[in-house]
Structure 1
């Protein structure tokens, strides 16, 4: 049994801090999604905002990858990075779906509330596609296809890069064990 020495207390504080920041990120991004003024029309400006949001997502992910490689606890930092980046990614597409459904009601098989748009985004991300909400116009199908392609990039490439950053961070710290 491990003693509760200064190193263990420090690790417990680090775990608590990372979990608190991760939870705060998810709560804040979700609250911002539900509070954002999404009453504007859909057009080129919406597409530009989505692209800018995805660029922000990419920049945030790149910054977090660098932070992971220099973190005291790279695995915890990677979890925190995912808890920030993934909700941002999902919220960006949810906002786009909500705006599209709000301004062009025929875009989906039924009207979308913010919760419905988030639900649709997560089902597309998880590739489960329950079939209760489906895109019905060319624009909504293109947007859904863009999300599917971006999902593959997020799941495949970014996850691999995050795991690589964790390994590099552990090597830099001279750690070879499986703790934090």
Structure 2
């Protein structure tokens, strides 16, 4: 069945998706720069990182449910990925920033918030310029966890998102019949 005007998202709907995705990303970035990050990097920080990763996973699973139920699953998938990817990168950037503050020399240069975000995004995108590298075992382990998570997100999570979009489209199309 060809998509008709009732199933195809209009320009307004697509524009709202872009605006919401951009707004969520911008809001998360503003929070990253404004939140006080003066906690020591200790067991509590590591627990926070683990809890943050669990929360991002829970958010991801909830987002899959919203994609399946959405009248425009493709657009909902864009919003979901924008939020989840941004959260993961910011979670690691925060961890790198706190680690460098707690243990100077963990990286090849002292990290500002922007440097930590740059490093986290470089690792996530697998570009790996090499200008900032992890020096200590803790920094390397955190970087390896981010690398593995990025691979999982790119492979497994992307497949789950595509599957959710497919299920959502079929669900929507069966309602239209």
TM-score w.r.t. the length of structure 1 is 0.90
Aligned match of 2:170: 171
* Partner residue in 1 for 2:12: 13
| Correspondence for 1:154 | 153
Deviation per residue, 1:1-38 (Å, 9 max, x gap): xxxxx869972221122111101100001001011111
Total equivalences in the alignment: 170
Q: Which residue is equivalent to 1:108?
A: 107
- RMSD over aligned Cα atoms: 1.6
The corresponding residue for 1:50 is 49
Aligned pairs for 1:56-67 (under 5 A) are 56-67=55-66
Q: Which runs of 5+ in 2 are unaligned?
A: none
| Structure 1: stretches of 5+ with no match in the other structure | 1-5, 176-180
Structure 2 distance, partners of 1:165, 1:40, is 38
> Which segments of structure 1 move beyond 3 Å, counting only runs of 4 or more?
6-10
- After TM superposition, the structure 1 = structure 2 runs for residues 68-107 of structure 1, keeping only pairs within 5 Å, are 68-107=67-106
TM-score (norm 2): 0.92
Deviation track 1:123-158 (CA, whole Å, cap 9, x = no partner) reads: 111111111101011111111111111111111111
CA distance in 2, matches of 1:65, 1:150: 18
Query: Do structure 1's residue 132 and structure 2's residue 135 form an aligned pair?
Result: no
Query: Take 1:7 and 1:152, find their aligned partners in 2: how far apart are those partners?
Result: 36
